[in-house]
């Protein structure tokens, strides 16, 4: 509808006014609701923990590896982000202004089953709506119903720690005087307006591991470890206020408090003994490696570093990581102290299956005939900071102790931050949050880092196939817990007969940089916000060096694809400055991205480009006498040297007519496609700018090293500007115009850079599939195009790793018809002259298939990538054909080049000395 421009202005005024008033009313009402919602939320979250303990002060810089909760509760909006459908709902209710947000009804019509009970909790309903499969929806529904009926969780669990005194549990000490500035119980304070009672307060204090609980002023609960002085004792009548939970009970009074024993003694962790060089037998260690990803060479380097015939390597590879599993199984054949378990699980971040996996692995270990004293948990991103010899000496002096790291903060706060008071259900490789829960009575909750070193005795207790009541109950509890491995072993330790073997040290130093690591980056796998530690880089060296005099033996994280220099530095620190000098290719790193035997995890765009490179190389190598008729990609590998991405290597098999097969390896890298059209104050500061994808906000790097984008990629501009000392330049705006292959403007994005160092990325949301072909981004500053970046969206020859079908090409290569409207201000930067021709071309291209499609792909690949090396790997062809080509084994870049640092050769008595290198 068009509004007439010359309509009488005055006639519009009253309408605007009513409109205005309505808007104001809506706003007011919304604010009121928001306020209501907030207070409600607050009240239901009744124990608002309060800072009292010193430990909290040290909270800011503890090295605990745990999830940190960013918001107290997902706000409505946050929650709605998880599901499209919920989003619609919200819009609807907003429209009729009758926002009753507490009403969320389960849409039964979407379910192919009838829930076993009426599901009313908002979080459970939201989770059921968001879950993908019916099986998962049913699992969430089943669990919710079991909880509603009180059948899932144990209500009470025993405590077998000898330092408890069960006779005293709940015994009253009487009424005591309290003072505002000298609290009798100073460990924890909570205020519960609805449910405070001696019982609920004892429950909390016991859970937090305090010896005394006190109720005061009706609604308050205090916990502490110091015995109240008898001089403060008052007659019982001085405590005279009723409890909110039950008016027949007394909950202290005005600065008077009823104090009770919780029955637990103050917990003091054990000190670890210093290493001694005694003649006692040395301990044997199982390194339990739980692995994910494709960093095979780093894993081998880690194993090589720890290798010793007396120690064992038990390896769990995530069930989705077929490549690692295949490759590591080869070690098993050579070494009888290496086992790769066949009982595999999908271990998502924070997932409950992680605990299932660990217990399953421990049970398997207990049944094997390996003789061991300790299990140490490691991942592909751990690396030792002391030699194994020192580790063994240390553990030998601490036999039967258990090493875990506690959170070191107030327990109730930890419980909330960690989401231990919530039920999570894992299915569809996601952790769904379905509501609040009450932790069982009687157990002290503890947790922190999930890196541990556990003794044989403790492992046989906790992983026993006939667990006692405590362990069985905690296994149920932790089956529905986020990040279970961060609390389960701690909690079992604290409440079992092993409580006096607890050492508060996980032997690890972790590279936390919370500003970078807490971007809520796991939202797609868990209904929670968590943090991750950063990779070590040479600038973090001091942090590693500082572990020298401390009882720390491992550091994390290390990722050679991000930085390998730090690992070499560490090795030289351990084994001498000359270490590695004579070893070949110490500064190279190879990372496999594709293997022809892979079952999944294939990136069709990478495969398409690699395939094209193999075809182009084959053509190049062919001559009359030796003609390669076709080629198949076997492996694709990233090759880094001194932490710079040098090439993407394509290992392929070429077929020669009537002669046979030969394998070659070649490498390619992206061309520079940035054109500076005009030098200005911004362009001179440009360190790099390119279009890529998979930007890692934590490590601030794009993990798509060859910059391969396909129709289903999410392109992003990744940039870095250096600091300027030109005080006149101030802040600068850069506008980016994104043009597709038909020169149509698809998106306008902008950044403001200040005069400091600026880096980051911008990722517009394009609708997929993207139209394949040559795209461009124009960079505008001060109303002038000063640079342009071209980038390729490669048409796919492979779709879900199979050759694309004629029926698929148009869908995949036809782009999409979604375009945003932009106002005319950008028109002057755009060239509309050949628009129709380009559109016709795009349409024709989208129909290309077979050799025609290959030709299109190869032309684009040649435009955007260079390939300059090739070597012969092997072959039955013993002719003069490629006599001049080097053998791959003799090059320094090929994936077949020697890589001693990642080659585990012979078992040697002495480990960690690298004699064999």
Ligand X SMILES: *[C@@H]1O[C@H](CO)[C@@H](O)[C@H](O)[C@H]1NC(C)=O
Q: Which tokens go with 505?
A: 């040290």
Cα 387 to Cα 45, 269, 580: the distances in Å are: 48, 26, 16
Mark the segment that binds ligand X (CB under 6 A) among 96-104, 572-580, 784-792, 835-843.
96-104
To ligand X, the closest distance from the beta carbon of 114 in angstroms equals: 10
Give me Rg for the CA atoms of the chain: 32
The residue within the footprint of ligand X, chosen from 752, 818, 878, 884 (CB under 6 A), is: 752
If one asks whether residue 88 binds ligand X (CB under 6 A), the answer comes out as: no
Question: Which tokens belong to 510?
Answer: 């972790």
Contact letters for ligand X, residues 381-400 (x by CB under 6 A)? ----------------xxx-
- Pick the piece of the chain touching ligand X (CB under 6 A) from 119-127, 133-141, 434-442, 860-868: 133-141
Contact flag: residue 783 with ligand X (CB under 6 A): no
Q: Which of 46, 48, 148, 908 binds ligand X (CB under 6 A)?
A: 908
What are the backbone dihedrals phi and psi of residue 252, each rounded to the nearest 5 degrees, phi first?
A: 65, -155
User: What is the spatial distance between Cα 897 and Cα 827, in angstroms, rounded to a whole number?
Assistant: 53
Sequence-separated (6 or more) residues with CB below 8 Å from residue 385:
509, 544, 547, 552, 553, 554, 555, 570, 574
Determine which residue in the list 273, 389, 627, 776 makes contact with ligand X, applying CB under 6 A.
273
**Closer to ligand X by Cβ: residue 357 or 562:** 357
Paired tokens of 447? 């947790």
Binding flag, residue 755, ligand X (CB under 6 A): no
- In the block, tokens 């421009």 appear at 5
Interhelix angle 411-418/198-207, rounded to 10 degrees, is 80
The residues with which 718 forms a beta bridge, in sequence order, are 690, 761
The residues facing 259 across adjacent strands are 174, 214
Write the CA distances from 324 to 165, 214, 418, 591, integer angstroms. Answer: 50, 55, 31, 11
Interaction between residue 268 and ligand X (CB under 6 A) = no
**Token output for 56:** 């909290």
Task: Report the C-alpha gap between 223 and 257 in whole angstroms.
Answer: 11
Cα separation, 904 vs 328, whole angstroms: 11
Helices of type H across 487-639: 488-495, 514-517, 541-545, 565-575, 604-621
Figure out which of the listed residues 139, 426, 559, 635 binds ligand X, where binding follows CB under 6 A.
139
- Is residue 270 a contact point for ligand X (CB under 6 A)? no
Among residues 297 and 356, whose Cβ is nearest to ligand X? Answer: 356
Q: Tell me if 770 sits within 8 A of 725, measured CB to CB.
A: no
Stretch that binds ligand X, among 99-107, 384-392, 771-779, 791-799 (CB under 6 A): 99-107
The CB-of-521 to ligand X minimum distance in angstroms stands at 15
Q: Which of 26, 40, 103, 268 binds ligand X (CB under 6 A)?
A: 103
- Nearest distance, CB of residue 896 and ligand X, angstroms: 25
Q: Which lies closer to ligand X via its Cβ, residue 623 or residue 910?
A: 910
Asked if 354 is part of the footprint of ligand X (rule: CB under 6 A), the reply reads yes
The CB-of-668 to ligand X minimum distance in angstroms stands at 33
Nearer to ligand X (CB atom), residue 395 or residue 793:
395
Contact 594, 607 (CB under 8 A): yes
Nearest distance, CB of residue 639 and ligand X, angstroms? 26
Partnered with residue 686 across adjacent β-strands are 721
Sites for ligand X among residues 416-475 (CB under 6 A): 450, 452
3-state secondary structure (DSSP) of residue 717: strand
- Applying CB under 6 A, does 379 fall inside the site for ligand X? yes
Does residue 112 bind ligand X (CB under 6 A)? no
CB of 301 to ligand X, least distance (A): 16
**Residue whose CB is nearest to ligand X in the complex, by number:** 379
Contact pick of 75, 142, 429, 622 for ligand X (by CB under 6 A): 142
Contact pick of 207, 211, 337, 377 for ligand X (by CB under 6 A): 377
Q: What angle do CA 78, 72, 29 make, to 5 degrees?
A: 60
H/E stretch holding 127 reads helix 122-130
Angle at 698 between CA 693 and CA 702, to 5 degrees: 20
Q: Residue 750 Cβ, how far from ligand X at the closest point, in Å? A: 6
Separation CA 721–CA 731 (nearest Å): 12
CA distance 324 to 294: 6
- The piece of 137-145, 193-201, 330-338, 788-796 that touches ligand X (CB under 6 A) is 137-145
134 forms part of the interface with ligand X (CB under 6 A): no
Among residue numbers 848 through 907, which ones bind ligand X (CB under 6 A)? 906
Q: Which of 47, 383, 478, 489 binds ligand X (CB under 6 A)?
A: 489
Of the pair 750, 754, the CB lying nearest ligand X is at 750
| Least distance from ligand X to the Cβ atom of residue 485, Å | 3
Beta carbon nearer to ligand X, 6 or 92: 92
Question: Of 98 and 367, which CB lies nearer to ligand X in the complex structure?
Answer: 98
Question: In this complex, which beta carbon is closest to ligand X, that of residue 144 or of residue 412?
Answer: 144
279 binds ligand X (CB under 6 A): no
Task: Tally Cβ neighbours within 10 Å of residue 233.
Answer: 15
Interacting residues with ligand X between 589 and 608 (CB under 6 A): none
Which lies closer to ligand X via its Cβ, residue 260 or residue 554? 554
The residue from 6, 98, 181, 783 that contacts ligand X (CB under 6 A) is 98
CA dihedral 161, 162, 165, 170 (to 10 degrees): 0
Q: What angle do CA 562, 565, 567 make, to 5 degrees?
A: 90
Question: Which of 48, 75, 93, 768 lies at the binding interface for ligand X (CB under 6 A)?
Answer: 93
Shorter beta-carbon distance to ligand X: residue 270 or 776: 270
Q: How far is the CB of 837 from ligand X (least distance, A)?
A: 35
- Is residue 102 a contact residue for ligand X (CB under 6 A)? yes
733 part of the interface to ligand X, by CB under 6 A = yes
Q: How far is the CB of 102 from ligand X (least distance, A)?
A: 5
**What is the size of the binding site for ligand X (CB under 6 A)?**
32
Residue (of 504, 511, 512, 532) closest to 520 by Cα position = 532
DSSP state of 769: S
- Does residue 555 touch ligand X according to CB under 6 A? no
Q: Which of 827, 696, 710, 719 is nearest to 770 (CA)?
A: 710
Tokens of 445: 């909750």
* Cα–Cα distance measured from residue 873 to residue 870, given in angstroms and rounded to the nearest whole number: 10
Quick one: residue 912, left, alpha or beta (phi over 0 = left, psi -120 to 50 = alpha)? left
- Our finding on whether 181 is near ligand X (CB under 6 A) is no
By the rule CB under 6 A, 320 interacts with ligand X: no
- Residue 96 binds ligand X (CB under 6 A): yes
- Return the closest-CA partner of residue 557 out of 902, 895, 351, 293: 293
Q: Is 910 in the site for ligand X (CB under 6 A)?
A: yes
Shortest Å, Cβ 379 to ligand X: 3
Q: Write b or e for each residue in 116-127: b if 16 or more Cβ atoms lie within 10 A of its Cβ, otherwise e.
A: eeebebbbbbbb
Work out which of 100, 277, 279, 783 binds ligand X, going by CB under 6 A.
Answer: 100
Residue ranges that bind ligand X, judged by CB under 6 A: 92-93, 96, 98, 100, 102-103, 135, 138-139, 142, 273, 290, 354, 358, 377, 379, 397-399, 450, 452, 485, 489, 733, 750, 752, 906, 908-910, 915
């Amino acid at each position: 509808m068009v509004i007439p421009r010359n309509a009488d202005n005055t006639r519009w005024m009253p309408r605007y006014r009513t409109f205005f008033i309505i808007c104001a009313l809506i706003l007011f009402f919304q604010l009121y609701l928001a306020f209501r919602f907030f207070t409600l939320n607050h009240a239901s979250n009744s124990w608002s923990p309060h800072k009292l303990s010193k430990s909290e002060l040290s909270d800011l810089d503890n090295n605990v590896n745990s999830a940190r909760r960013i918001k107290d509760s997902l706000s409505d909006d946050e929650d709605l982000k998880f599901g499209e459908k919920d989003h619609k709902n919200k819009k609807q209710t907003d429209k009729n202004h009758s926002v009753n947000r507490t009403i969320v009804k389960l849409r039964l019509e979407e379910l192919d089953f009838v829930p076993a009970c009426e599901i009313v909790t908002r979080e459970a309903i939201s989770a059921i709506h968001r879950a993908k499969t019916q099986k998962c929806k049913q699992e969430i529904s089943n669990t919710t119903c079991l909880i509603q009926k009180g059948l899932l969780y144990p209500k009470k669990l025993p405590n077998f720690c000898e330092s408890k005194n069960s006779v005293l549990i709940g015994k009253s000490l009487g009424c005591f005087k309290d003072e505002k500035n000298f609290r009798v119980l100073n460990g924890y304070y909570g205020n519960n307006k609805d449910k405070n009672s001696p019982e609920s307060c004892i429950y909390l204090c016991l859970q937090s591991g305090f010896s005394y609980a006190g109720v005061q002023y009706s609604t308050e609960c205090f916990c502490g470890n110091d015995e109240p002085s008898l001089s403060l004792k008052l007659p019982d009548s001085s405590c005279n206020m009723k409890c909110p939970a039950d008016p027949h009970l007394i909950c202290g009074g005005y600065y008077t408090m009823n104090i009770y024993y919780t029955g637990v003694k103050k917990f003091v962790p054990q000190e670890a003994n210093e290493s001694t060089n005694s003649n006692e037998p040395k301990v044997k260690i199982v390194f339990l490696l739980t692995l994910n990803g494709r960093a095979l060479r780093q894993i081998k380097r880690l194993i090589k570093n720890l290798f010793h015939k007396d120690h064992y390597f038990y390896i769990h590879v995530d069930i989705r990581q077929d490549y690692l599993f295949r490759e590591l199984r080869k070690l098993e054949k050579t070494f009888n102290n290496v086992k790769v378990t066949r009982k595999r699980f999908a271990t998502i971040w924070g997932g409950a299956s992680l605990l299932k996996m660990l217990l399953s692995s421990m049970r398997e270990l207990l049944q094997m005939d390996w003789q061991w004293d300790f299990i140490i948990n490691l991942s592909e991103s751990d690396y030792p900071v002391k030699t194994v010899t020192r580790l063994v000496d240390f553990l030998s002096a601490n036999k039967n102790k258990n090493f875990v790291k506690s959170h070191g903060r107030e327990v109730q706060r930890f419980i909330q931050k960690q989401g231990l008071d919530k039920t999570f259900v894992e299915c569809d490789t996601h952790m769904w949050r379905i509501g609040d829960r009450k932790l069982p009575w009687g157990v002290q909750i503890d947790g922190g880092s999930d890196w541990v070193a556990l003794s044989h005795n403790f492992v046989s207790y906790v992983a026993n196939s006939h667990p006692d009541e405590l362990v069985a109950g905690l296994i149920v509890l932790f089956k529905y817990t986020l990040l279970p491995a961060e609390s389960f072993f701690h909690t079992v330790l604290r409440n079992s007969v092993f409580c006096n073997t607890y050492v508060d040290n996980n032997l690890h130093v972790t590279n936390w940089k919370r500003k970078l690591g807490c971007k809520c980056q796991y939202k797609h796998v868990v209904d929670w916000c968590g943090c991750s530690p950063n990779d070590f880089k040479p600038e973090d060296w001091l942090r590693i060096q500082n572990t020298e005099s401390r009882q720390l033996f491992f550091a994390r994280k290390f990722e050679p694809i991000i930085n390998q220099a730090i690992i070499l530095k560490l090795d030289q620190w351990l084994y001498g400055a000359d270490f590695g000098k004579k070893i070949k290719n110490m500064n190279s790193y190879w990372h496999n991205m594709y293997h022809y035997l892979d079952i999944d995890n294939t990136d069709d765009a990478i495969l398409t480009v690699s395939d094209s490179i193999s075809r182009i190389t084959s053509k190049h190598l062919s001559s009359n006498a030796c003609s390669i008729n076709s080629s198949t990609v076997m492996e694709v590998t990233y090759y880094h040297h001194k932490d710079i991405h040098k090439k993407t290597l394509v290992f392929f098999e070429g077929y020669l007519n009537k002669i046979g097969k030969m394998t070659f390896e070649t490498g390619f890298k992206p061309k520079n496609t940035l054109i500076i059209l005009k030098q200005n104050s911004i362009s001179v500061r440009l360190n790099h700018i390119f279009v890529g994808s998979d930007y890692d906000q934590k490590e601030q790097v794009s993990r798509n090293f060859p910059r391969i984008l396909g129709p289903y990629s999410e392109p992003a501009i990744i940039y870095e500007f250096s600091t300027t000392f030109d005080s006149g330049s101030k802040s600068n705006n850069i506008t980016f115009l994104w043009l597709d292959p038909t020169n149509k403007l698809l998106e306008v994005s902008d950044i403001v850079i200040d005069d400091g160092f600026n880096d980051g990325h911008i990722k517009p949301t394009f609708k997929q599939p993207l139209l394949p072909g040559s795209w461009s981004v124009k960079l505008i500053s001060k109303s002038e195009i000063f640079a342009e970046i071209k980038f390729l969206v490669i048409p796919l020859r492979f779709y879900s790793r199979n050759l694309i079908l004629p029926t698929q090409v148009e869908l995949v290569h036809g782009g999409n018809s979604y375009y945003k409207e932009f106002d005319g201000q950008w028109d002057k930067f755009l060239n509309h002259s050949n628009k129709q021709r380009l559109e016709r071309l795009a349409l024709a291209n989208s129909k290309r298939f077979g050799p025609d499609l290959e030709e299109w792909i190869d032309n684009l690949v040649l435009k955007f990538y260079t390939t300059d090396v090739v070597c012969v790997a092997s072959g039955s062809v013993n002719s003069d054909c490629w006599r001049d080509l080097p053998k791959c084994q003799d090059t320094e870049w090929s994936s077949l080049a020697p890589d001693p640092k990642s080659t585990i050769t012979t078992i040697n008595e002495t480990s960690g000395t690298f004699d064999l290198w």
